Amino acid sequence: MLTQTHPRGLADLEPVAEDSLIGLIALVNADPRPDKIDVGVGVFRDGAGNTPILKVMKEAEQRLLDTQVTKAYLGSAGDKRFAELLRPILLGPHARDERIAGLQTPGGCGALRLGFELIATANPDARVFVGTPTWPNHPPIINAVRLGMVEYPYYERGQGIIRFENMIAALNGAEAGDVALLHGCCHNPTGADLSEDQWREVVRVVSDRGLIPLIDIAYQGFGRGVDEDAFGVRLMLDACDEVIIAQSCDKNFSVYRDRVGSLWVKTGSASGTKTAMGHVFQRAREMWSMPPDHGAASVHIILDDAELRARWLVELKGMRDRINSMRQRIAAADPRLAFIGRQYGMFSMLPLSKQQVLKLREDDAIYMADSGRFNVVGMGDDQIDRFIAAVAGALDA
């Protein structure tokens, strides 16, 4: 007997749950209260509560407008000079290593997808070890390339500390060829970065066990400094033959919507890397063919000009200083928030239940992620005292 198969069309699609952080933006926009505080979204804001275009970026964009003579295709690698200029900033002393190659990608997100595509091409049985909580877009990207995922607890929210023993035990349970997904700096969502000693230990386990580290570095320069924030990346390159790095310029050049990033691949030999990059270009060609030009071309102009580059570093330091001074100010306000002063980058997690987070939203018009993640530079200077008082009240409850 023939079994009747139901034709599956677009009308048969199941609805997708909305991304909670995107949903939060809509909630903030719909709230008419003039004193609302949005510490949900992950963009840098200055003391006036704005996310301005960097002055140096405006100038580079003007130069680009004045001098660009063609918009002809660039190819899957995007702007090659952009990657060349970024190379020493990210890789430091490893910049001359011919076993490392990089290409421009649509943001850090594109770099992550491409990096995981490469792993899935090489070894579809590889498992990705992911410390939780992590950036909520990591698991969907890993699922999209159909790699298995092993989660382990990374962070103790009550005390604001890394569960380092859990991390090491989990990585010790991984097998050669498995992948360790690591945050290069300014951990999102916790702000809890590995210390230098902890990095040494992680690098030792990753290298001893033959794991492939995939380091996501989206906030270089937002933590301690440009070189300091690349400590883990460079230490891993010292020790391992196979390393993948997904990098983003979207935050440190403040060009979020322009989608500027890069992917870096190291194998044990220059010829091995050439072969791996052949697969990378092929995957890129299938997904986006080539990355958008404008943002990377502007970053290229800045990094290729000594004066603009120096001014970028000053503006970047300005953003870093504001992040760190906001952290110190919040930490000093209440001993229960002291851990925030020992962390890096834009994010921290408050030890609040989802109900307490929702109550802050309703009663105080303070919007943060359901997990208690908040952006330390999400609020303007005139909102800090009200924010701290409301959070202290929620912690008392």
Ligand X SMILES: Cc1ncc(COP(=O)(O)O)c(C=O)c1O
Q: Hey, which residues are catalytic here?
A: 135, 216, 218, 251
x/- track of binding to ligand X for residues 30-49 (CB under 6 A): ------------x-------
Specify the stretch interacting with ligand X by CB under 6 A; choose among 79-87, 105-113, 145-153, 312-320: 105-113
Give the side-chain half-sphere CA count within 13 A for 96: 1
Mutual orientation of helices 306-333 and 384-396 as an angle, nearest 10°?
A: 40
Eight-state DSSP code of residue 337: G
Where does residue 230 fall: left (phi above 0), alpha (psi -120 to 50 degrees), or beta otherwise? Answer: alpha
Q: Which of 76, 190, 220, 248 binds ligand X (CB under 6 A)?
A: 248
**Under a CB-based contact definition with an 8 Å cutoff, are residues 143 and 113 in contact?**
no
Residue 347: strand pairing partners: 375
Count of residues binding ligand X (CB under 6 A)? 13
Q: Which is nearer to ligand X, 179 or 365 (CB)?
A: 179
Q: Which is nearer to ligand X, 136 or 393 (CB)?
A: 136
- List all residues 6 or more positions away from 66 whose beta carbon is below 8 Å from its beta carbon: none
Number of residues written out for the chain: 397
Alpha-helical segments (H) within the chain: 20-30, 55-67, 80-91, 107-122, 138-144, 164-172, 196-209, 231-239, 270-287, 294-303, 306-333, 354-364, 384-396
Which residues within the stretch 40-99 sit at the binding site for ligand X (CB under 6 A)?
42
Q: Output the residue with the shortest Cβ distance to ligand X.
A: 107
Give the side-chain half-sphere CA count within 13 A for 146: 6
Nearest-5° Cα angle at 183, 178 to 185: 150
Residue 135 engages ligand X in binding (rule: CB under 6 A): yes
Structure tokens at 90: 């990210």
Q: Which of 24, 57, 90, 109 binds ligand X (CB under 6 A)?
A: 109
CA 254 to CA 319: how far, in whole Å?
10
x/- track of binding to ligand X for residues 205-224 (CB under 6 A): -----------x-x------
Q: Which is nearer to ligand X, 193 or 364 (CB)?
A: 193
Work out how close the CB of 364 gets to ligand X at its nearest, in angstroms, rounded to a whole number: 25
Number of H-type helices and E-type strands within the chain: 13, 13
Q: Which of 117, 229, 242, 250 binds ligand X (CB under 6 A)?
A: 250
Q: Which is nearer to ligand X, 222 or 339 (CB)?
A: 222
Residue 191 engages ligand X in binding (rule: CB under 6 A): no
x/- track of binding to ligand X for residues 136-175 (CB under 6 A): ----------------------------------------
Q: CB burial class (10 A; 0-12, 13-18, 19+) of residue 12?
A: exposed
Specify the stretch interacting with ligand X by CB under 6 A; choose among 11-19, 119-127, 199-207, 248-256: 248-256
Q: Which is nearer to ligand X, 248 or 267 (CB)?
A: 248
Which residues within the stretch 312-371 sit at the binding site for ligand X (CB under 6 A)?
none
Q: Which is nearer to ligand X, 188 or 273 (CB)?
A: 188
Q: Which is nearer to ligand X, 91 or 109 (CB)?
A: 109
Work out how close the CB of 185 gets to ligand X at its nearest, in angstroms, rounded to a whole number: 10
Q: Which is nearer to ligand X, 114 or 340 (CB)?
A: 114
- List all residues 6 or more positions away from 67 whose beta carbon is below 8 Å from its beta carbon: none
Handedness of CA 217, 144, 213, 286 (dihedral sign): negative
- List all residues 6 or more positions away from 32 whose beta carbon is below 8 Å from its beta carbon: none
Work out how close the CB of 331 gets to ligand X at its nearest, in angstroms, rounded to a whole number: 22
Q: Which of 40, 78, 108, 213 binds ligand X (CB under 6 A)?
A: 108
Specify the stretch interacting with ligand X by CB under 6 A; choose among 102-110, 174-182, 304-312, 369-377: 102-110
Structure tokens at 65: 């407008």
Determine how many CB atoms are found less than 10 A away from the CB of residue 26: 9
- List all residues 6 or more positions away from 117 whose beta carbon is below 8 Å from its beta carbon: 145, 280, 283, 287
Work out how close the CB of 259 gets to ligand X at its nearest, in angstroms, rounded to a whole number: 7
Residue 161 parent element (H or E)? strand 161-162
Which residues within the stretch 253-272 sit at the binding site for ligand X (CB under 6 A)?
256, 261
Chain contacts with ligand X (rule: CB under 6 A): 42, 107-109, 135, 183, 188, 216, 218, 248, 250, 256, 261
